Amino acid sequence: MRLYDGGRSPNPRRVRIFFAEKGIALPELIPVDIAKKEHLTPEFTRINPMRRLPVLELDDGTALAETIAICRYLESLHPEPALFGRDAKEQGQIEMWNRRVELGLFSSVMAVFRHSHPSMVELEHQVPEWADANRELIDDHLLLLDLQLAANPFLCGELMTVADITAGIAVDFMRPSRIPLPEDFANIRRWHGELAARPSWAA
Amino acid sequence: MRLYDGGRSPNPRRVRIFFAEKGIALPELIPVDIAKKEHLTPEFTRINPMRRLPVLELDDGTALAETIAICRYLESLHPEPALFGRDAKEQGQIEMWNRRVELGLFSSVMAVFRHSHPSMVELEHQVPEWADANRELIDDHLLLLDLQLAANPFLCGELMTVADITAGIAVDFMRPSRIPLPEDFANIRRWHGELAARPSWAA
């Protein structure tokens, strides 16, 4: 296996943290420099026509793109610890929370970054109105998380899951997106501090 | 089980088609009328704070929201026929294609509808610039599908999967979104005609 990696970008980080939480050694990393537009070359477009990172190349040459697809592949090969749930109900609830976060906070933070950050001018057809509309939604997304974390150590209960990785990376990425985390979300602050202290978070 | 249903909307259709492809009888349906804003009531917000449909209520009262979370729950209880893949590699590839379609065509068609259709004025804070930006992406999304379907009967090979349901519903929803399907995407037309002829598609 080889992992086409994108450094500090959110999705490459999600996959590397997933490897670490599973206790699986990272495969050979092939760095792709997004700032240098290396993901837009014809060579990389043949590997992933969506021109996104990361991509896991399997030993038979199959290119597996999309963060959660890579994580699911790893979960299937290495079921323990289960980060997508152990039974039907857990699997449904973890998928629900991962998607609520992806379609909510994660998506809005990314939209703010892509459509308003100066570093993205050359990489994205920026729609400033879309950045503004998403910035207005952030507090609602955070409130949903905070309420869930008031009643649970992690988003889906006692155990860390893939939904926490998605949500934690979204909170991390608020800083480069220039979105402050309001002081009053105490449950998010508690939970995010615990995530950031895990060895996996440095991956 | 009970299914809070949203009629002809895309996500409720995806779940009902999934039930039909699995050969599972639909549970009791509780219709929620989006046009009448019944999904915005305090009662429904308690069931799903995201105020989206459908929601599967389990016998223990657990409310499972998000289309793919409901489908995964059903897949776990009823593994055959496998609509999310039979082994690690298939599971990864189906997740990849389902996400490529969701983040690509499905998301852009929904954005055009939500942000430009007159019927959505009262339900959505419309950003017309976002509808325009997404309309410009549709042909690229369709080209990706068409190329994949040139080489495969279904998106992930010989068997229909959840990725075909997502993609087929996205193509269906182009019509109410007033997006024409160009004549030259012959592979999409062949595949979509076959999907629409399946008994499940009327679900």
> Average pLDDT of chain B?
97
How would CATH label the architecture of B88-202? Up-down Bundle (1.20)
The single residue listed with the structure tokens 């087929």 is: B168
- pLDDT tens-digit map of B59-109: 999 999 999 999 999 999 999 999 999 999 999 999 999 999 999 999 999
Burial profile A81-109: b = 16 or more Cβ within 10 angstroms, e = fewer: ebbbbeebbbbbbbbbbbbbbbbbbbbbb
- pLDDT tens-digit map of B126-160: 999 999 999 999 999 999 999 999 999 999 999 99
From the CB of residue B62, how many other CB atoms can be counted at a distance below 10 Å? Answer: 13
Residues of B in contact with A110 (CB under 8 A): none
Q: pLDDT digit of tens for each residue in chain A (203 aa)?
A: 999 999 999 999 999 999 999 999 999 999 999 989 999 999 999 999 999 999 999 999 999 999 999 999 999 999 999 999 999 999 999 999 999 999 999 999 999 999 999 999 988 899 999 999 999 999 999 999 999 999 999 999 999 999 999 999 999 999 999 999 999 999 999 999 999 999 999 99
d(CA A92, CA B117): 32
* The pLDDT value given to residue A39: 95
Task: Give, in order, the Cα–Cα distances in Å from A162 to each of A22, A82, B2, B13, B133.
Answer: 11, 9, 27, 27, 31
* The pLDDT value given to residue A83: 98
Q: Which residues, other chains included, contact A30 with Cβ-Cβ below 8 Å and sequence gap of 6+? A: A2, A3, A4, A5
Interface of B with A in 17-76 (CB under 8 A): 49-50, 56, 58, 62, 64-66, 68-70, 72-73, 76
- pLDDT tens-digit map of B11-67: 999 999 999 999 999 999 999 999 899 999 999 999 999 999 999 999 999 999 999
Q: Is A78 on the interface with B (CB under 8 A)?
A: no
Interface test with A, best of B57, B95, B108 (most A CBs within 10 A): B95
Could you give the percent of chain B with pLDDT greater than 70?
Answer: 100
Looking at the complex, report in whole angstroms how far the Cα of residue B173 sits from the nearest Cα belonging to chain A.
19
* The pLDDT value given to residue A143: 97
d(CA B137, CA B66): 25
* The pLDDT value given to residue A16: 98
Domain extents in chain B: 2-77, 88-202
Q: Is B110 on the interface with A (CB under 8 A)?
A: no
Closest chain A residue to B140, measured at CA:
A50
Interface test with B, best of A3, A52, A73, A94 (most B CBs within 10 A): A73
Interface of A with B in 5-24 (CB under 8 A): none
Q: Which residues, other chains included, contact A169 with Cβ-Cβ below 8 Å and sequence gap of 6+? A: A10, A13, A14, A17, A106
d(CA A12, CA A203): 10
ipTM: 0.97
Q: What is the CATH number of domain B2-77?
A: 3.40.30.10
Q: Is B91 on the interface with A (CB under 8 A)?
A: yes
Output the six-digit token pair for A85: 């749930």
Q: Compare CB distances from B73 to A77, A89, A99 and report the shortest one's residue.
A: A89
What DSSP line would sit under A164-175, residue for residue?
A: HHHHHHHHHTTT
* The pLDDT value given to residue A161: 98
* The pLDDT value given to residue A178: 96
* The pLDDT value given to residue B129: 96
Q: Which of A161, A164, A162 is nearest to A172 (CA)?
A: A164
Q: Beginning with the edge strand found earlier in the chain, give each strand of the sheet holding B28-31 in spatial order.
A: B28-31, B2-5, B55-57, B63-65
* The pLDDT value given to residue A121: 92
